Structures are given as C-alpha cells and as structure tokens.
Structure 1
Amino acid sequence: MTATHGAHAPSAKRQWAEGLTVFAAVTLMIAGVLDVLRGIMGIAEDDVFVTTQDYVFAFDLTGWGWIHLVLGALAVIVSLGLFREATWARVAGVAIAGLVIIANFLSLPYYPVWSVVMIAFSGFIIWALCVSRSGAGAFDR
C-alpha cells in the first residue's frame, strides 16, 4: 500500500467535487466581470447594442445596463465565497447564475450572440454547483 492510498488521501469523488467547485468559482467570476462590463456599456448606451422595437420585455438600454451591472457585481462577490467553499455561496451561485440566464434571455434582442454565450456559461455554472457537494465526508461513503 503506497502513501497515496492512505487514510488521509482524498477520494477521486472528492477531488472531482473540489475541481468542479473551483471551475464554478472561476467561471462565475469571469461571467460576473463580463456582465459588469456589459452593464457599463448599456448604461453608457454604447452603439454595440441593437435597438429593437415592439419587444415585449422592453426596457431602455440604461435599465438593462443597471440590471447587468448589479447581477455581475453580485456574481463576483458570490464567486469569492465559492473560493472559500462557503455553503451560502453555492446556493447563491445557483441563484445568481439562474438570474443571469433570465436577464440574458430577456435582453436577447439587444445583444443576441453574447446573450446566448452568457446563457450557456451560466448553465455550466449551475451544472458544476449542483453536480458536486463539497461537505466533509460526503464523498467518502
């Protein structure tokens, strides 16, 4: 029996869980920073966005900018909690990623390609946070 198979060696499931949590934290941090930048562009009413008429969920561009700015800032804060493996951050990460999906779906006509990218990004975050649990002893059974 080698040292890697000792009583204190982490199991493969535990290593996967920790890796997915780090993946989710990094991805949420990137998504948050990008959402903050998108929010700033919206508040500044940048020409990057498409103007759409007769859209059911029509906000002015500044309104969408503030929504994305706040969600992005919250995502960055929650990602810092994920790096510390805080349980509240795991729950909040799923919630924030879900809200980012909804916000990007509703603002789809303004910046369609980027909205689809952010929806996919957020889907991976939710998957990574839901597929693993990092509680002590949860994977050693």
Structure 2
Amino acid sequence: MTQQPAASHLAGSEAPSAWATGFIIFAAVMMMLSGAFQALAGLVALFEDEFYVTTSDYLLQLDTTTWGWIHLLLGLLVVIASFAVLGGRIWGRVIGVILAAISALANFVFIPYYPVWSLVVITLDVFVIWALTAHGRDIVR
C-alpha cells in the first residue's frame, strides 16, 4: 500500500464548490475590467496631455505621459494575468494579487489627477484581492 501526499489526495477527492468557482471567475473578470480601465486611462494620458489636471502641492508630481505609460503597462499586465487566473494557474493568482495591490497603490497616488476613476479602479482591485486570496485555492487544476 503506497501513501499519497496529503495535498494531492485532498485536491483530487474534493470538487471545488460552485461559490469558489464563481468568485474566481468574478475575480478574473474584474481583473480584465480593471486592467482595461487602467490601459484606457494610460492611453488617454498619452494622447491627450491636457485631459488630466495636475495639482501643484501633491507629494508625487509626475508628468502625465509618465502616468500614461505606468497605467498602460500595468493594465496590460493585469489583463494577461486574468487569463492565467481563468486557466486555474497558481502563478496567475499570485501575480493577480501582486498586480492588483500595485494597481491599487498606483491609483491611490493618481487620485489628484482623476479621483473618481482612481477610486473605481481601487475598489475593483480590492474585490480582486479578496476573491483570489479567499477562494483561489479551491479551483486549482
């Protein structure tokens, strides 16, 4: 009689719950939306410099073109990671949590330039982090 490792034995015997599967799909779709919003904000900053109004007394003063590149690249990375999450990849969940945290921080710093948009993306990032950390392990393939 051979003994199987506990992790593979449990993963093979229990099917993921419908709630866990739903939350992971929710997280992946929210990552796609958040990444698309970020990329759109980045493109706007790159093509229309006067769209975002800068404040004079803000701690981190970056050019809107710099913010455009930050948001565009971060958004595209989040969208790519969302497909890995849909595929049930552990690395996709890890990258998804890391990118969602970075995205939330970047948008927190971006609040003076476009507050409502930044707060919407931060909210989406918080939901993504919650779904990936609370229910992500239930859907590993």
Structure 2 residue ranges without an equivalent (≥5) = 1-12
Verify: 1:120 aligned to 2:120, yes or no.
no
Cα deviation digits, residues 61-89 of structure 1 (max 9, x gap): 00011000010000010001011010000
From 100, 118, 141, the counterpart of 2:103: 100
Verify: 1:30 aligned to 2:44, yes or no.
no
Computed over aligned residues only, the root mean square deviation of the Cα atoms, in angstroms, reads: 1.9
Other-structure match for 1:5: none
| Structure with the higher fraction of residues in helix conformation | 2
From 78, 81, 98, the counterpart of 1:78: 81
Verify: 1:19 aligned to 2:25, yes or no.
no
- TM (normalized to structure 1)? 0.84
Structure 1 residue ranges without an equivalent (≥5) = 1-7
Other-structure match for 2:68: 65
Take 2:105 and 2:26, find their aligned partners in 1: how far apart are those partners? 22
1:136 Cα offset (Å): 5.7
- TM (normalized to structure 2)? 0.84
Letter aligned with residue 41 of structure 1: V
Take 1:78 and 1:134, find their aligned partners in 2: how far apart are those partners? 18
Structure 1 24/135 Cα, relative in aligned 2: closer, same or farther at 3 Å?
closer
Q: How many residues align?
A: 128
**In the alignment, is the contact (CA less than 8 A) between 2:38 and 2:71 conserved in 1?**
yes
1:52 Cα offset (Å): 1.2
Take 2:77 and 2:14, find their aligned partners in 1: how far apart are those partners? 35
**In the alignment, is the contact (CA less than 8 A) between 1:32 and 1:74 conserved in 2?**
yes
**In the alignment, is the contact (CA less than 8 A) between 1:39 and 1:67 conserved in 2?**
yes
Take 2:63 and 2:57, find their aligned partners in 1: how far apart are those partners? 12
Identity across matched positions, percent: 44
Take 1:53 and 1:129, find their aligned partners in 2: how far apart are those partners? 38
1:43 Cα offset (Å): 1.1
Secondary structure of 1:51 counterpart = coil
